């Protein structure tokens, strides 16, 4: 189990590094540096990218600590494995599709294809909301079946891990909502391009985190 978690962590770190290189390789602040040198806009853009990378590093550490605590706690004799709701598979598909659509929208924003940005953002957000609603329904199914937090440590960890992941997803939706409102009120691709690029990285990151968490829950 420990070896599996270490391998998953290495894979996650490698993929996150690759996504950051691929998604931010265009560095829009560099091309705009000459025009924005006086205003400081390019520096602000750079801070946003660095801020996201810093946040992802912290979030990775937080989830790593939760995974470590989960692994240690499951060795105790009072641990009873939880039967995960089948709905989690459908929820996972929703999040995979949301990540794919966000990447499709990111490519449209980079290429300046305006007509793809509005539907792309709308669909990506709708799929993400469906994922979160599905997680809530999964909680309700477990509660109705008698799997309460206090009954078993495995139950408590399931609610905790899915809740922390969901809160991170809600934070991403707040940024998504701001970008979507700008687009629906007539903003061009240039004004939302960076936000879409950074959100794409964030969605890919949370998808990877969820796959690791879901795999861990299923295997234990």
Sign of CA dihedral 9, 166, 125, 144: positive
Residue 165 CB neighbours (<10 A) = 22
* Residue where the block lists tokens 């912290």: 58
Distance CA 112, CA 132 (A): 30
Closest to 127 (Cα-Cα) out of 86, 183, 173, 164: 173
* Residue where the block lists tokens 């706690």: 73
Q: Quote the pLDDT of residue 125.
A: 96
CATH assignment of 2-219? 1.20.120.80
Contacts of 99 (CB under 8 A, 6+ apart): 200, 203, 204, 207
Distance CA 109, CA 196 (A): 8
* pLDDT tens digit sequence for 175-205: 999 999 999 888 777 788 888 999 999 999 9
Closest to 168 (Cα-Cα) out of 10, 82, 38, 56: 56
* pTM attached to this predicted model: 0.82
For residue 113, report the phi and psi dihedrals to the nearest 5 degrees: -85, 90
Q: How many CA atoms lie within 13 A of 78 on its CB side?
A: 7
Name the stretches of the chain with pLDDT < 70. 1-46
* pLDDT tens digit sequence for 15-38: 566 655 655 554 444 444 444 444
- Where do the domains of the chain lie? 2-219
Q: Quote the pLDDT of residue 23.
A: 52
């Amino acid at each position: 189990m420990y070896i599996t978690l270490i391998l998953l962590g290495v894979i996650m770190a490698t993929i996150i590094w690759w996504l950051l290189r691929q998604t931010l390789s265009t560095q829009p602040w560099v091309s705009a540096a000459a025009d924005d040198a006086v205003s400081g806009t390019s520096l602000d853009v750079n801070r946003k990218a660095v801020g996201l990378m810093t946040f992802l590093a912290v979030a990775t550490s937080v989830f790593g600590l939760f995974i470590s605590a989960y692994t240690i706690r499951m060795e105790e004799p009072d641990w009873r494995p939880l039967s995960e709701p089948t709905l989690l598979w459908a929820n996972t598909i929703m999040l995979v599709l949301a990540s794919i659509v966000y990447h499709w929208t990111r490519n449209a924003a980079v290429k300046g294809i305006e007509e793809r940005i509005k539907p792309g953002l709308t669909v990506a957000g709708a799929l993400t909301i469906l994922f979160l609603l599905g997680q809530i329904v999964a909680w309700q199914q477990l509660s109705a079946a008698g799997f309460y937090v206090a009954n078993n440590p495995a139950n408590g960890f399931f609610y905790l891990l899915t809740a922390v992941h969901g809160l991170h997803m809600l934070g991403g939706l707040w940024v998504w909502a701001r970008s979507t409102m700008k687009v629906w009120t007539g903003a061009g691709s240039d004004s939302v391009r960076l936000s879409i690029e950074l959100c794409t990285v964030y969605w890919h990151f949370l998808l990877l985190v969820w796959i690791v968490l879901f795999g861990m829950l299923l295997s234990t």
